[in-house]
Amino acid sequence: MDSDMYNLRNLRIKEPLLKRPLDIVLSFIMMLCSLPVSIPIALAIKLEDGGPVFYRQERWGRGGKRFRAYKFRTMVPDSDKKFGITQAAENDSRITRIGKLLRAMGLDELPQIINIFSGDMSFVGPRSLAVGEIVRDEDGNIIDYEDFPGFRERLAVRPGLTGLATIYIPKDVSPSQKFRYDLIYIQRQSFGLDLRLIILSFWISFRGKWETRDKKV
């Protein structure tokens, strides 16, 4: 993968004209508005098990650039070291009590607003992928993200906090299924589509439906 970094950096698709301005303005507003919510969330996480409040993870960004993503911690401390970097499954024993509530409402993602404001992410786009994550194909075989069709193409845009795949399909489907939705978004991205997906995401958060395996909207 590293030998292909030069080509990946040149694999970039032009964003809709108002996409980045929307990210900057909305992320700035949300950083201010989320402060009253973030403080009690941080206290609740700390009081539950004494572990760190934030979870940091290296992820793939636009053009193959790696960046450090931030979230409120929802799993037991040192989960990645103990169990490896794996996506949470339904009724995952690693998730804390506070973590279940945060995940259902999408509040664990609030610190990623900083990533959006800095330009590493966008509000809408393909889900950011963890570097070194353990993933499996449809047959249950362990495989690198880079080997799934569509991996390179989805790096042509900024990863998003939300997107078509995040909203319309369950979290635990295979990467190839998610990548298909990501590629559809890349082909059809527009300012209007981004606004629609952002509004739907707020509606899902309000209803606490992010962790459901049924339809979210």
φ and ψ at residue 71, rounded to 5 degrees: -145, 160
Residue 6 pLDDT more than 70? no
Residues 122, 158: Cα–Cα separation, whole Å: 6
pLDDT of amino acid 65: 93
The pLDDT-based confidence of 91 (bands split at 50, 70, 90) is confident
Residues 211, 162: Cα–Cα separation, whole Å: 14
Mean pLDDT within 185-206 = 96
pLDDT of amino acid 5: 45
Neighbours of 2 (CB within 10 A): 7
Using a pLDDT cut of 70, give the percent of the chain over it: 95
Q: What does the pLDDT look like over 53-75, one tens digit per residue?
A: 999 999 999 999 999 999 999 99
Q: What does the pLDDT look like over 104-161, one tens digit per residue?
A: 999 999 999 999 999 999 999 999 999 988 787 777 778 888 888 888 899 999 999 9
Per residue, the 3-state secondary structure of 120-162, as one string, reads: CCEEECCECCECCCCEECCCCCEECHHHCCCHHHHCCCCCEEE
